[in-house]
């Protein structure tokens, strides 16, 4: 999923909350979230 930079922090916060909910449910489904750095190189 890609978003404009001005929405990046909001998306990251939503993803953190979603991952924590899944973790609290102790599901055995793997979840991977990768956020690219602001500057590459």
The pTM of this model reads: 0.61
pLDDT (0 to 100) of residue 25: 81
Q: Are 26 and 17 in contact (CB under 8 A)?
A: no
What φ, ψ does residue 6 adopt, rounded to 5°? -65, -15
Distance CA 41, CA 39 (A): 7
**37 vs 16, which has greater pLDDT?**
16
pLDDT (0 to 100) of residue 10: 92
Within the chain, residue ranges assigned H as helices are 8-24
Distance CA 30, CA 41 (A): 29
Q: What is the pLDDT of residues 17-41, one digit of tens each?
A: 988 888 888 777 777 888 777 777 6
């Amino acid at each position: 999923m890609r978003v404009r930079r001005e929405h990046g922090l909001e998306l990251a916060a939503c993803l953190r909350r979603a991952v924590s909910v899944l973790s609290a449910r102790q599901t055995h489904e793997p979840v991977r979230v990768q956020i690219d750095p602001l500057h590459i190189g």
